[in-house]
């Protein structure tokens, strides 16, 4: 699986992924406040907390949709804090969104081919002339997409319009599009949102497969504690932009600050 990161240092040891003293402000409101943690390669790490805790904001900073006010983001020993979004994808970080961001007037296979964009290397003139090298590349992209369709059992929907698919299937299609970018680190923003219990359990199975079969490291934002318990090696708790606790789900649940923040509130659902 690669190098095992034993601590949060960003010095001598190889760091697969970490954020260090990360902060961001919107109009004087600090949405992330000195957040720091390390994700080991080949693990599944879940981020939990109530609405407004800063979880999706953290993902938006990592994927470079937002600019951090201060702090660092390290991926495979590279500082990517100021890297442009397209470089993030090419380095091997892909994500899904809490609200599905697919093209409804396109087919499933067309949506997944969009996920191949970071892996495209041909020049515009070559594509306009549809040279043999471009034809070979297109064949390779389709083969990669078909592998993802097989993995996620989406072949029956291959040529269907996304607009006509059930919500649960569209969630899996969005996961598939992210996988088509061949990520090393996958950010899943509330993958169980809008799913029923059976669909959520199946999503947990996909997440296990990503790690065990493809060796993908997964960072999840999630409210469903059953899914968190099912898939997580490690759990982080955020509240008001601050990291309250980290460890196993049981350890985080027992942490005094977490207890104080959520006692008497249904903050996890």
At 144-158, the pLDDT tens digits run: 999 999 999 999 999
Q: What is the DSSP letter of 107?
A: B
Nearest to 189, CA basis, from 6, 73, 62: 62
Q: Are residues 66 and 7 in the same domain?
A: yes
Q: What is the pLDDT of residue 52?
A: 84
Residue 74 and residue 116 in one domain: no
Buried b (16+ CB within 10 A) or exposed e, 18-54: bbbebbbeeeeeebbbebebbbbbbbbbbbbbbeebb
Kindly report the CATH number assigned to the domain that includes residue 163.
3.40.50.300
Tell me the three state secondary structure of residue 229: helix
**Is the separation of the CB atoms in 10 and 72 below 8 Å?**
yes
Are residue 72 and residue 86 in the same domain, yes or no? Answer: yes
User: Which among 205, 185, 239, 194 has a CA at the least distance from the CA of 99?
Assistant: 194
Residue 126: pLDDT band with limits 50, 70, 90: low
Residues 193 and 268 in one domain: yes
Based on the domain organization, do 167 and 235 belong to the same domain?
no
Task: Report the Cα 123 to chain-centroid distance in Å.
Answer: 29
Q: What total number of domains does the chain contain?
A: 2
Candidates 176, 251, 247, 256; CA nearest to 216 is 176
CA distance 196 to 203: 10
Give CA–CA dist 221/268, Å, rounded. 12
**Which range (146-150, 222-226, 254-258) has the least confidence?**
254-258
Cα separation, 179 vs 196, whole angstroms = 23
Asked whether the predicted pLDDT for residue 178 surpasses 60, the reply is yes
Nearest to 89 by CA among 118, 120, 56, 59: 118
pLDDT band at 5 (very low <50, low <70, confident <90, very high): very low
* Cα(189)–Cα(56) distance, integer angstroms: 7
**Residue 58 φ then ψ, to 5°:** -60, -45
Domain-ending residue, one of 161, 182, 203: 182
In sequence order, what E strands does the chain have? 17-26, 29-39, 44-48, 70-75, 78-79, 93-95, 185-189, 217-221, 234-239, 242-247
- Supply the pLDDT for residue 131: 55
Question: What pLDDT is recorded for position 4?
Answer: 39
Identify the helix (H) or strand (E) that includes residue 225.
Answer: helix 225-231
Do 32 and 160 fall within a single domain? no
| DSSP-assigned beta bridge partners for residue 185 | 93, 217
Domain carrying residue 194 = 1-92+183-269
DSSP 162-197: GGGS-HHHHHHHHHHHHHTT--SEEEEESTTTT--H
**Is 55 in the same domain as 119?**
no
pLDDT single digits (tens) 29-63: 899 999 999 999 999 999 998 888 899 999 999 99
* Domain boundary pick from 182, 209, 237: 182
DSSP 155: G
Q: Quick one: 112 and 226 in the same domain? A: no
Residue 202 pLDDT exceeds 80:
yes
Query: Among 165, 233, 232, 148, which Cα is nearest to 199's?
Result: 165
How far apart, in whole angstroms, are the C-alpha atoms of residue 198 and residue 89? Answer: 31
**φ, ψ dihedrals at 247, nearest 5°:** 150, -155
Domain closes at, from 132, 156, 182: 182
């Amino acid at each position: 699986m690669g190098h095992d990161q034993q601590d949060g240092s960003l010095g001598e040891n190889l760091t697969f992924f970490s954020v260090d003293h990360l902060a961001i402000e919107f109009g004087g409101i600090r949405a992330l406040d000195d957040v720091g943690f390390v994700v080991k390669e080949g693990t599944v790490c879940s981020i939990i907390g109530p609405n407004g805790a800063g979880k999706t904001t953290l993902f938006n900073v990592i994927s470079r949709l937002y600019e951090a006010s201060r702090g660092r983001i390290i991926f495979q020993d590279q500082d990517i804090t100021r890297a442009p979004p397209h470089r993030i994808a090419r380095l091997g970080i892909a994500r899904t969104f809490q609200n599905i961001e697919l093209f409804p007037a396109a087919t499933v296979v067309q949506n997944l081919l969009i996920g191949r964009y970071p892996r495209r290397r041909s020049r515009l003139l070559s594509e306009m002339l549809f040279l043999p090298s471009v034809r070979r590349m297109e064949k390779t992209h389709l083969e990669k997409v078909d592998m993802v369709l097989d993995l996620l059992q989406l072949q029956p929907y291959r040529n269907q319009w996304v607009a006509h698919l059930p919500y649960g299937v569209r969630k899996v299609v969005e996961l598939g599009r992210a996988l088509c970018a061949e990520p090393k680190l996958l950010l899943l923003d509330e993958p169980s949102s809008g799913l029923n219990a059976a669909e959520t359990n199946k999503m947990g199975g996909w997440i296990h497969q990503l790690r065990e079969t493809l060796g993908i490291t997964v960072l999840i934002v999630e409210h469903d504690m059953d899914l968190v318990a099912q898939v997580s090696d490690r759990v982080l708790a955020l509240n008001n932009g601050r990291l309250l606790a980290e460890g196993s789900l049981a350890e985080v649940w027992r942490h005094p600050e977490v207890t104080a923040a959520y006692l008497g509130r249904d903050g996890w659902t």
